[in-house]
Amino acid sequence: MTRMLLAFARRLLPWGPAGEAAIGDLLEERARRGRGSFWLLREALGLCIHHAAFRTRQALRPAVARPSSPRRDSVMSLLLADVRYAARSLRRDPGLCLVVLVTLALGVGANVALFTLVRGVLLRPLPYPEPDRLVIVYENDRLRGTSREGASAPDYLDLAAELRGFAVLGAREGADRTLGGPNEPLRVSSARVTTGWLGALGVRPRRGRLFTTDEERPGHGNVVLLGEGIWRERFGADPAVVGTEVRLDGEPRTVVGVLPATAAPPGFTERIWEPLAFDPEQTFRGRHNLLLLGRLAPGVALEQAQAELSAAMARLEKAHPDDNLGRGAWVTPLQEEVVGDVRTALLALMAAVGVVLLLACANVTHLLLARALLRERDLAVRASLGASPLRLLRLLLVESLLLGLSGGLLGVGVAVLGVRVLKAMAPAELPRLAEIHVDRGALLFALAVSLLTALVFGLLPAARAARREATAALRSGRSAGPGAGALRLRRALVVVEMALAVVLVVGAGLLLRSFARLVAVEPGFRPEGLLVVEMQLAGPRWAFPRSWPVHHWPAFDAFSEDLLERTRRLPGVDSVALAHLGPGDSGWTTRVTVEGRPEVRPGEQPEAGYRPVGAGYFRTLGVPLRRGRTFSEGDVAGRPLVAVVNEAFVRQHFPAGDPIGQRIVVFRAPREIVGVVGDVRYGGRDRDAPPVMYFPLRQAPQPALALVARVAGDPLGIVPALRREIGAIDPELALFGVTTASGFLAESVSERRFTLNLIAAFAVVALLLAALGVYGVLSHLVAERRREIGVRLALGAPPASVFVLVLGEGARIALVASLLGAVAALGGGRVLQSLLFGVGPRDPLTFLAAVPTLLAAALLASALPALRATRVDPADALRSE
């Protein structure tokens, strides 16, 4: 018994000869005083406790709390004691706490901010009753391979009468109107809708009423609904506005109601609503101008609705082969339409920011592991005093939870700032941006993330500590370094960290190269100094001729000459031209046939872009003339009808021959091709230029116009003067869409820029965190191998070799990680596929560039520990054992 006891006490006293002597004292005293075993036991235990307490206090910053007696304490008070203890011990280590909290706050904050964005855009249900039953119905065309086409009015009427799977089916056609009034005329976006459109959404008016079916009849629709925004801006939120008269495009309309701001689904810009009336004379099946929105009947699944719709469209195709050959239709949830193609980008960002959080966790785990190693003896004392492994585990978990939750709290602060930054940075096209803010859901997310992180980074050290036997910890000598097992663990952790960083670096690299390629693409015109202003000739004074096709519109000729003359006189204007559509507008297409070619089956005729442009358009834009001539002042109504085509059109229709002098038929009118111009990428720089036909504006006049002007200096500078000149022609004309070509080109890539900026930022942070991890592990390594390094140096190894030794360790980690990361990136690159342009997801250059980047980061991070290793004093290192 005595022997066992002494052996045990001896193991608890790692004191060298001093411990031996202390036990010798014990035995001597016992013999002299004739004490029994119990005395020995008591004294030995007291000795151990005193010694362990002292050593712990000395070796560790955190103090040992006075051991409480567990049997009398309730669970709650135990927990409180744990929390108090954890807080106290954390407070003693402010440096560590600061690093951990900052890391966590950034990790959690970035995640919460991006989650808020993703939730606001992708996940939040639409603000309508039972939003999951709302669907958009698109027509598609098998012959042309188009999938998102509108429906024709006759198709809509047939479908609405026939389909049982839809509780309501509504139609909408967008239009722009000039809202006249006491102030400057305002161009507003309007939706012409059937009663079913607003009915399907379930919109309730804030004031007044919705449209009646009576107002859907042609000639009865001289009423209008105002959106809440317009109501506040233009009418001062006057409740008496209902029943008053406003002017739309110069025509009187009665306001019958005010709709809430949510009446326009996200992504739709309408601010006023007009009834959509179908004049049987004006509708035909070949004109697909309506967007259909339906509310599925209760209990009807999307697939059922789709099946019924397909059957109905098949019947229509059979009944009207001339117009409906190859036409089908498909349904898609409104929610998905609203989200659109930003989904991939946002999910990629979410994945990236998740990786950043993982890295933050890994780094905190490093820190806590290092701390846990220092504390093993403290824990061992607790264990030897009777703390159960479970209790110890809980203690450590409480500590990491405390850290995690504090980090999370700070993270919410970071997130609030982050969301503000994101909203400022985000492209305007991102749907539902305005609705986004950090709310309860985001806070819950933050809580969940911080708890999860705390568990992740707390569990590893805690599990290790709980597993280790108390005696083993107490026995290990006072100068013994942290365990080799921990080092292995940390090394594995840092390899994973670096590999994750590689994935992000590769992703950012791919996006960067895509972006560079995209921006380098020539748009086909010179954007510098180019001003684009849109306007609409509307009102009784500009009555559009009712004949079709229109080749002559005298009022337009006068307007065009007047406007161009006035604009030319403005200071700084080099050249100016009118066009139906500006260069930033992808425009629309129409069927075209080449005269003398064999008849094509209806529905299979090729289409090409339709762009009436005024004289001087090509010169003003800087579009090069390839062959023939461009339009002149002489190409007016009454003269032979002519056309200019672009090179893509020539490639498609005249791959071998000369197009000049050939005739094309558009809208039943033959036109002679007089020139070929260079391609302009109207559809965006990430797409090939489409085949386009240009017509003289004065042989195909349009009420919707774009004025393009090349200006010396700031193009926007002449806008006020331009407004005055246009006001002088007609005060009812509103200018809208005022932009510069450079502006809309930049805007066209803003979504990519946004994704790129964020992913690049995440990649840098990831690299930084991973480098910190490498630094931590190598410092650990150098501490661990101090003695070995000392021996090497003592035996005459040059310091440089020690430096290389440590650096090599860093390089090894980086190489293994690069390999792992590259493999992961090969798999992950597919996520980015749709965001790439001009580079594949396995672009070898990007992968090759990522490895040196990582290697550099790792070597940089290794340099400091390596330098420290060379400064190890051999004598000191050897003595310290």
Partner 1 sequence: MLAVLRLGEEAYGASVLDEIRSRAGRRVARGALYVTLDRLEDKGLIRSRYAEGGPERGGRPRRLLALTPAGRRALRDARATLLRLWQGLESLLERG
CB of 27 to partner 1, least distance (A): 5
Binding mask 39-78 for partner 1 (x = CB under 8 A): ----x--xxxxxx--x------------------------
Please identify which residue in 7, 27, 307, 704 interacts with partner 1, judged by CB under 8 A.
27
CB of 769 to partner 1, least distance (A): 40
Please identify which residue in 24, 243, 640, 852 interacts with partner 1, judged by CB under 8 A.
24
DSSP string covering 803-870, please?
A: HHHHHHHHHHHHHHHHHHHHHHHHHHHHHHGGG-SSS-TT-HHHHHHHHHHHHHHHHHHHHHHHHHHH
- What is the Cα–Cα distance from 653 to 650, expressed in whole angstroms? 5
Measured from the CB atom, is 43 or 751 closer to partner 1? 43
Applying CB under 8 A, does 22 fall inside the site for partner 1?
Answer: yes
CB of 28 to partner 1, least distance (A): 5
Please identify which residue in 31, 76, 656, 795 interacts with partner 1, judged by CB under 8 A.
31
Applying CB under 8 A, does 37 fall inside the site for partner 1?
Answer: no
Measured from the CB atom, is 19 or 507 closer to partner 1? 19
CB of 361 to partner 1, least distance (A): 40
Applying CB under 8 A, does 7 fall inside the site for partner 1?
Answer: no
- What is the Cα–Cα distance from 878 to 246, expressed in whole angstroms? 94
CB of 420 to partner 1, least distance (A): 55
SS3 label, residue 279: coil
The letter for the amino acid at 40 is L
CB of 880 to partner 1, least distance (A): 15
Applying CB under 8 A, does 879 fall inside the site for partner 1?
Answer: no
Cis geometry, peptide bond prior to residue 703 (ω within 30 degrees of 0): no
Segment (H or E) for 563: helix 554-568
Q: Which stretch binds partner 1 (CB under 8 A): 21-29, 198-206, 843-851, 867-875?
A: 21-29
CB of 21 to partner 1, least distance (A): 3
Number of neighbouring beta carbons within 10 Å of residue 328: 19
SS3 label, residue 176: strand
Measured from the CB atom, is 17 or 596 closer to partner 1? 17
Please identify which residue in 7, 28, 421, 852 interacts with partner 1, judged by CB under 8 A.
28
Measured from the CB atom, is 47 or 851 closer to partner 1? 47
Give backbone dihedrals phi and psi of 754, rounded to 5 degrees, phi first: -60, -55
752-771 binders of partner 1 (CB under 8 A): none
Question: CA angle, corner 412, sides to 406 and 413, nearest 5?
Answer: 95
Measured from the CB atom, is 31 or 75 closer to partner 1? 31
What number of CA atoms fall less than 13 Å from residue 474's CA on the CB side?
Answer: 23
Name 176's bridge partners.
189
Measured from the CB atom, is 54 or 284 closer to partner 1? 54
Binding mask 523-562 for partner 1 (x = CB under 8 A): ----------------------------------------
Measured from the CB atom, is 31 or 656 closer to partner 1? 31
Do 154 and 298 meet the contact criterion of CB atoms below 8 Å apart? no
Q: Which stretch binds partner 1 (CB under 8 A): 28-36, 188-196, 777-785, 867-875?
A: 28-36
Binding mask 357-396 for partner 1 (x = CB under 8 A): ----------------------------------------
DSSP 132: G
Measured from the CB atom, is 26 or 708 closer to partner 1? 26
DSSP string covering 353-391, please?
A: HHHHHHHHHHHHHHHHHHHHHHHHHHHHHHHHTT--HHH
Applying CB under 8 A, does 421 fall inside the site for partner 1?
Answer: no
CB of 48 to partner 1, least distance (A): 7
Applying CB under 8 A, does 26 fall inside the site for partner 1?
Answer: yes
**CA-based torsion, 304, 305, 309, 310: positive or negative:** negative
- What is the Cα–Cα distance from 554 to 551, expressed in whole angstroms? 10
Measured from the CB atom, is 32 or 467 closer to partner 1? 32
CB of 34 to partner 1, least distance (A): 12
The letter for the amino acid at 194 is T
Measured from the CB atom, is 29 or 565 closer to partner 1? 29
Number of residues this chain uses to bind partner 1 (CB under 8 A)? 23
Please identify which residue in 7, 21, 434, 558 interacts with partner 1, judged by CB under 8 A.
21
Measured from the CB atom, is 61 or 526 closer to partner 1? 61
Applying CB under 8 A, does 17 fall inside the site for partner 1?
Answer: yes
Applying CB under 8 A, does 18 fall inside the site for partner 1?
Answer: yes
The letter for the amino acid at 196 is G
Measured from the CB atom, is 34 or 95 closer to partner 1? 34
Applying CB under 8 A, does 656 fall inside the site for partner 1?
Answer: no
- What is the Cα–Cα distance from 337 to 879, expressed in whole angstroms? 72
CB of 83 to partner 1, least distance (A): 30
Number of neighbouring beta carbons within 10 Å of residue 725: 17
- What is the Cα–Cα distance from 855 to 596, expressed in whole angstroms? 66
3-state secondary structure 454-492: HHHHHHHHHHHHHHCCHHHHHHCCCCCCCCHHHHHHHHH
Measured from the CB atom, is 52 or 290 closer to partner 1? 52
Considering only the C-alpha atoms of the chain, give the largest distance between any 2 of them, rounded to a whole number of Å.
Answer: 135
Q: Write the CA distances from 310 to 158, 196, 259, 323, integer angstroms.
A: 13, 21, 34, 17
CB of 381 to partner 1, least distance (A): 13
Measured from the CB atom, is 56 or 748 closer to partner 1? 56
Secondary structure tally for the chain: helices H, strands E = 26, 23
- Give residue 755's region: left, alpha or beta (phi > 0; psi -120 to 50): alpha
CB of 19 to partner 1, least distance (A): 9
Q: Which stretch binds partner 1 (CB under 8 A): 16-24, 126-134, 301-309, 547-555?
A: 16-24
CB of 11 to partner 1, least distance (A): 15
The alpha-helical segments, DSSP class H, found in 583-732 are 617-621, 647-653, 719-729
Applying CB under 8 A, does 477 fall inside the site for partner 1?
Answer: no
Please identify which residue in 4, 32, 66, 638 interacts with partner 1, judged by CB under 8 A.
32
CB of 881 to partner 1, least distance (A): 18
- What is the Cα–Cα distance from 228 to 231, expressed in whole angstroms? 5
Q: Write the CA distances from 223 to 150, 264, 539, integer angstroms.
A: 25, 18, 16
Name 274's bridge partners.
192
Number of neighbouring beta carbons within 10 Å of residue 388: 12
CB of 473 to partner 1, least distance (A): 19
CB of 772 to partner 1, least distance (A): 35
Measured from the CB atom, is 28 or 238 closer to partner 1? 28
3-state secondary structure 515-537: HHHHHHCCCCCCCCCEEEEEEEC
Name 140's bridge partners.
328
CB of 90 to partner 1, least distance (A): 26
Measured from the CB atom, is 21 or 347 closer to partner 1? 21
Measured from the CB atom, is 28 or 574 closer to partner 1? 28
Q: Which stretch binds partner 1 (CB under 8 A): 29-37, 383-391, 419-427, 788-796?
A: 29-37
Tokens for 547, please give them.
Answer: 């004949």
Q: Which residues contact partner 1 by CB under 8 A?
A: 6, 17-18, 20-29, 31-32, 43, 46-51, 54
